[in-house]
Amino acid sequence: MILAFVVVAVVFDVSENIDDLIKSGAPFHEILIDYYLNFCFYFGNLLSSFIVFLAIIWITSKMAQQTEIVAMLSGGISFRRLMVPYFITAAILVTTSLLLSHFVVPYANRTKFEFELKYLKGAINVDEKNIHREIEPGTIVHFKTVIPAKQSGTQFSLEKWKNEKLVFKINASNAKRDTLKNVWTLTDAEIRTINADGSEYISFKTKMDTTLNMAITDFAQRSEVVSTMNYGELTRYIQAEKDRGSGNIEQAEIEKYGRTSNAFGIFVLTLIGVSLSSRKTRGGTGLHILLAVIVGFTFLFVARITTVAAANEGLPASIAVWIPNLLFLLVGIFIYIKAQK
């Protein structure tokens, strides 16, 4: 079932990107291995819970239509006992999905992302204004706008604080990084040094070079980069962004907690799938598949709403990603109670 979905996804992706791939001049072996092989890992794991759900519906419905489940229940096997092998298999799949999500797929995403940057992606644009970062303890940097393609930013300022008092500040109209020398060049810089007695010394420089412990990626990078980090890297990245005072950690937190919640969604959908498709109906397997598609897409829709709420409305990501599982667990329990026993 996963293979069928992956093949369809690859066909759609090829039809969408074929012109860009041809124009990019990417070697065929890189397209095949670096991009599409890793694309299969990413896409297969992304929809794993939904695909497993459809597989459960398919096999259980077939058993129900052939009166196998009725025969087992009539022979004295309880419905709860009937579900045991499903949940044993689900536990294996959840464990596999957790390992893939946290360790294997990020590596695959990294290779795929590097290919996209090399051949498909354009220059990154940053719409956010007035960006602040704490690059070192007590050292705060501000840009009004950031231009990643030029490794520069406008209306730059740097503040150094000691014992909650400002001791040094630089204001500049522009700051640009020389990536070869790892040096920042400031234009029209005003340098203020504040002494302990409150007096100030101010100087001006048309151009000045300085070494700063920061890169342009500290202020701007593609959102996809968090999908290339394994669990440890993602945890350290989130903590580092919090220490810097970044206001854009929601997507990283959604990625981190979502990897676990998506895997455990297999348990929830297993409960729903078996309970939903174990009854023999006039509509047959087709009706069960239709119900599965409705339930599955509703699950994905609810998941999308909660992640948007986490990204834009302040709902904690650790809660938002688990809401679909909890809601559909209640639905699953209700269907299980009503299922043919």
pLDDT digits (tens, 9 = 90+) for 110-159: 999 889 888 887 656 666 778 888 878 888 898 888 887 788 889 999 99
Q: Which among 63, 40, 44, 64 is positioned nearest to 52, based on CA atoms? A: 44
* Partners of residue 201 on adjacent β-strands: 193
What is the percent of the chain where pLDDT is above 70?
Answer: 95
* Partners of residue 171 on adjacent β-strands: 157, 190
pLDDT of residue 245: 66
Query: What are the structural domain ranges in the chain?
Result: 47-105+247-338, 131-218
Q: How does strand 139-143 pair with strand 131-136?
A: antiparallel
* Partners of residue 133 on adjacent β-strands: 141
Question: Is 0.95 surpassed by the pTM of this model?
Answer: no
What are the C-alpha distances in Å from 327 to residues 8, 90, 99, 120, 188?
30, 19, 25, 39, 57
Tell me: the pLDDT tens digits for 295-340?
Answer: 888 888 888 888 888 777 778 888 999 999 999 999 999 989 987 7
* Partners of residue 187 on adjacent β-strands: 174, 207
What are the C-alpha distances in Å from 237 to residues 37, 38, 138, 255?
27, 23, 19, 12
Residue 67 phi/psi, 5-degree rounding, is 60, 20
